[in-house]
Structure 1
Amino acid sequence: MQTLSSKDTCTDALILKQLTSKVWNNDPVLFQESRMTLSSDRERIVLIRYIEHYSPGSGQWVEYAYSVPVCEFTQWIMANGELKIEDSEGRPGV
């Protein structure tokens, strides 16, 4: 199993989801973010989930990073994804 840190990923990321919530005035802020990026060597797709609890007196965060080789991800998409075919004349494929 390969471990990744933030320095192992590209700075450009596709943000998939962000959520910030605070229920009561004195409650800490909960921030969650999911993003997708490439490893710095561009050989792996990396999905990152970041969670932070923040209050003026303290803050805690954790980041989870899952990765898969680009070639394996591409093969999985082609084997399991929904195929749509169009041609130059605008006709739907068979």
Structure 2
Amino acid sequence: MRLINPAPAPLVAQDLPLPTSDQHALMLLQRVTKLADASLHCREVSLRLSDDQHYLVLTRYSEHYSPEGMEWVERKHRVSVTELLRWVIEQGQPQSIERGEEHKASA
């Protein structure tokens, strides 16, 4: 959503310019909730690779619009891709194991 300076007319997320790093993000969650006090709560959670492709970056962005004003918070968490893959291999259970052999046919 990225509506840091809200305009009088509602904007659509596709109309807003995104930083280059956000253009390649995988959107995991995008939700807008209207609350009882006529306020809106907007949330986004996205996942992307860092520019150097060594880290996976999870971004959590939240906006709250009310008659009193607007507040926003962005939190970023990053983990080394190498360390993440090592953890997955150590923690995961293999789902299938395949083996094969090839023998040359005798002439």
Q: Give the TM-score normalised by structure 2.
A: 0.63
Match of 1:79 in 2: 90
Root-mean-square deviation (Å)? 2.7
Unmatched tracts of structure 1, length 5 or more: 1-6, 89-94
SS in 1 for 2:83: helix
Identity of aligned residues (%): 32
Q: Please tell me the residue identity of whatever aligns with 2:94.
A: L
SS in 1 for 2:23: coil
1:51 corresponds to 2:86: no
Q: CA deviation at 1:43?
A: 0.7
Alignment length (residue pairs)? 83
Specify which structure has the higher proportion of strand. Answer: 1
Q: Please tell me the residue identity of whatever aligns with 1:13.
A: A
**Structure with the greater alpha carbon radius of gyration:** 2
Unmatched tracts of structure 2, length 5 or more: 1-18, 100-107
Selected match of 1:39 from 45, 50, 58 = 50
Q: Please tell me the residue identity of whatever aligns with 1:20.
A: V
Match of 1:60 in 2: 71
Q: Distance in 2 between matches of 1:63 and 1:52?
A: 9
Change (3 A) 1:38 1:52: same
Q: Give the TM-score normalised by structure 1.
A: 0.71
Runs of 4+ more than 6 Å apart? none
